Structure 1
Amino acid sequence: MYIIKARLFDIGDDFDITDDQGRRLYHVDGKVLTMRDRLVIEDASGREVAAVHRHLVALRPTYQVTIGGEKAAEVRKHFFTPFREKFTVDIPGPDDLEISGDLLDHEFTVERDGREVAAASKRWISIRDTYGVRIAEGEDHLLILASVLALDLAMARDADKKDAGE
């Protein structure tokens, strides 16, 4: 399980992603005050391994995930979902992921073809504003973590718009 500190993106702070033993696996450099809402994910040695940035021109919230400098996925919010918000993680090829659930409260699942490949929950963690992400064996953990961070950026941006009355 991975542990992520939630809702830091509002101020652009840096934070760490740890395992459930508290060992730092990744450092996330939050560059949200930039025009493109950008996050850089670094491994324990400080090397950039992934990044997330918002597309400036898109009909719906869209974030690009790069891993090792190569485009790995686009994370897009669905236009209309009546009961819960959904995001698609569009991966080149046929292996797209769907993220759905209570996204704002970090209680959601990540599925591929109707099969759960990851889940996030605040209930697993007793630390405030922190949630856990459990990823199935054999899945690309970095892609899923970056996609979850893209979702956090999108949700924080939506909350900021609502707070500003837009």
Structure 2
Amino acid sequence: MTDPAVQPGFTRFLMKSKLGAGRDFQVLDPQTEQQLYLVDGKIGPRPKAEVLDAAGTLLYSVRGQLLGIPKKLTIADAAGAEVATLKAKKFSVVKDRMDMEMASGEPWHVEGKLIEKNYTVTSGGRDVVRISQKWMTVRDKYSVEVADGVDVGLALAVVWAIDRWVERD
């Protein structure tokens, strides 16, 4: 089966799991497999990661308190300002959907097969990020399609946060 073409208005990236206990991901150009971003997961009692560009510049960080009450993951920009939050009361693995609240108050909705890494993030009725593993032959890779105008670094932070949330729930 061949990989379907990217729909107009989206840019595709290849997210590849990197070996290591911190849950790192290389984010590659799907044509050249050149690394464009790194999602650097950190080892520790709380889940955390940094989203870095190709030059190693910090774009976003994700911090969690999954064992705390309430269960919560926070995404912050490079300056430390909170930009998004995932909270337990809006999440259900059974229903395969969750809601995120952006600092702007804008809700982002996640729906699909979260465990299988086949889901869509929507905002205002339009897709902003699509995650799919169904066309990959190697299970440690999946595609991430980001809508034009959406911050790629933020989209990658959201994908990592959802991935960790699902694995630890």
Task: Assess same fold via TM > 0.5.
Answer: yes
User: For the structure 1 residues 6 and 105, does the alpha-carbon distance in structure 2 shift closer, same or farther, using more than 3 Å as the test?
Assistant: farther
Does residue 55 of the first structure (1) align with residue 65 of the second (2)? yes
Give the residue type in structure 1 aligned to 2:108. L
- Structure 1 equivalent of residue 165 of structure 2: 154
User: For the structure 1 residues 7 and 89, does the alpha-carbon distance in structure 2 shift closer, same or farther, using more than 3 Å as the test?
Assistant: farther
* Selected match of 1:34 from 44, 50, 61: 44
Runs of 4+ aligned residues of structure 1 deviating over 4 Å after TM superposition are: 6-9, 77-83
Please say which of residues 127-136 and 145-154 is displaced more in the overlay: 127-136
Query: 2:168 aligns to what SS in structure 1?
Result: helix
Structure 1 length as normaliser, TM-score? 0.81
Aligned residues: 155
Give the residue type in structure 2 aligned to 1:63. L
* Selected match of 2:76 from 56, 62, 66: 66
| Structure 1: runs of 5+ lacking an equivalent | 159-166
- Structure 1 equivalent of residue 6 of structure 2: none
- Structure 2 equivalent of residue 93 of structure 1: 104
The alignment yields a C-alpha RMSD, in angstroms, of 2.3
* Selected match of 1:4 from 15, 25, 29: 15
- Structure 2 equivalent of residue 113 of structure 1: 124
Identity of aligned residues (%): 29
| Structure 2: runs of 5+ lacking an equivalent | 1-11
- Structure 1 equivalent of residue 136 of structure 2: 125
- Structure 2 equivalent of residue 163 of structure 1: none
Is contact 2:110–2:120 with CA below 8 Å preserved after alignment? yes
In 1: Cα distance, 2:146 partner to 2:24 partner: 23
* Selected match of 2:155 from 130, 144, 158: 144
User: For the structure 1 residues 2 and 77, does the alpha-carbon distance in structure 2 shift closer, same or farther, using more than 3 Å as the test?
Assistant: farther
Is contact 1:125–1:131 with CA below 8 Å preserved after alignment? yes
User: For the structure 1 residues 5 and 76, does the alpha-carbon distance in structure 2 shift closer, same or farther, using more than 3 Å as the test?
Assistant: farther
- The structural deviation recorded for 1:79 is 4.3
Structure 2 length as normaliser, TM-score? 0.80
